[in-house]
Amino acid sequence: MYRKVIFPVDLTHVDHLTKALQTALDLAIHYKAEICFVGVTGTAPSPVAHTPQEYERKLQAFAQEQGAAHGLKSSATACISPDPTIDTDKTLLGAIEDLGGDLVVMQTHAPKALDYIWAGHGDTIAARSKASVFLVRAHS
């Protein structure tokens, strides 16, 4: 049913993504789909990488590691954004479309009042992406 599962990943908080990541991997295994890890990085140095190129290498390594561990076809796409604070959603939406992803699995926080003013990344992707979107709550 699904050919390409997109998993937006923030390498800074990869330890906190266990539940969402497992969901994405399980779905990819079940549907024999490719899993594509998409990360949005700023142009400036971050805690994860000194340069966007270094970020891309780390993301590739993460994707390969996950693919090898679960016997999946995996890939990675690093998107560079000059202003990730604002443009992450737009960049992710563009990447999902460009990559031809048909299922997006991503972590999201439990609903809170501020979401009415600023939707979380998951909310926006679910509202605007043409792909199916599976939002996984960080804490059940």
Partner 1 sequence: MSNHDDDDTHTDEAEALPEPEGASEIIETDYEVGQDNITPQIGPFGLDIHNPVFAISGLVVVAFVIITLAFQNQVGPILTDLRGFLTSSFDWFFLMAGNLFVLVCLGILVSPLGRVRIGGVDATPDYSYAGWFAMLFAAGMGIGLMFFGVLEPVYYFGTPWGDQPLMRDIGIVDGVLVDPAAVEAARLTAMAATIYHWGLHPWAIYAVVALSLALFAYNKGLPLTVRSIFYPIFGERIWGWPGHVIDILAVFATLFGLATSLGLGAQQATAGIGFVFGIDGINDTVTASVILIFIITGMALISVLRGLDGGVKLLSEINMGLALLLLGFVLLVGPTLTLVTQFLGNLGAYFGEIINLSNPIGREDDGYRQGWTAFYWAWWISWSPFVGMFIARVSRGRTVREFLTCVLLIPTLVSAIWMTVFGGTAIDQLINTVTESSVYGYVIAAYVPELSLFGMLSELPLAAITSTIAIILVIVFFVTSSDSGSLVIDTITAGGKINAPVSQRIFWVIFEGLVAAALLIGGGLAALQAASVSTGLPFAIVLVLACYALIKGLLSEPRG
Q: How far is CA 25 from CA 6, 65, 121, in A?
A: 10, 12, 20
Q: Could you say whether residue 1 binds partner 1 (CB under 8 A)?
A: no
Q: Binding to partner 1 (CB under 8 A): which residues in 70-129?
A: 80, 82-88, 112-114, 118
Q: Could you say whether residue 22 binds partner 1 (CB under 8 A)?
A: no
All residues at 6 or more sequence positions from 43 whose CB lies less than 8 Å from its CB, including other chains = 52, 80, 81, 82
Q: In the complex with partner 1, which residue's Cβ is closer, 22 or 53?
A: 53
Say how far apart CA 26 and CA 31 lie, in whole Å: 9
Q: Which of 14, 29, 31, 46 binds partner 1 (CB under 8 A)?
A: 46
Q: Which of 15, 47, 71, 139 binds partner 1 (CB under 8 A)?
A: 47
Say how far apart CA 48 and CA 13 lie, in whole Å: 10
Minimal distance, residue 117 CB to partner 1, in Å: 9
* Cα dihedral across residues 129, 133, 139, 140: positive or negative: positive
Say how far apart CA 103 and CA 96 lie, in whole Å: 9
* Contact characters 48-67, partner 1, x per CB under 8 A: --xx-xx-------------
Q: Which of 42, 67, 101, 120 binds partner 1 (CB under 8 A)?
A: 42
Stretch in the footprint of partner 1 (CB under 8 A) among 44-52, 61-69, 93-101, 127-135: 44-52
Interface with partner 1 by CB under 8 A: which residues?
A: 42-47, 50-51, 53-54, 80, 82-88, 112-114, 118
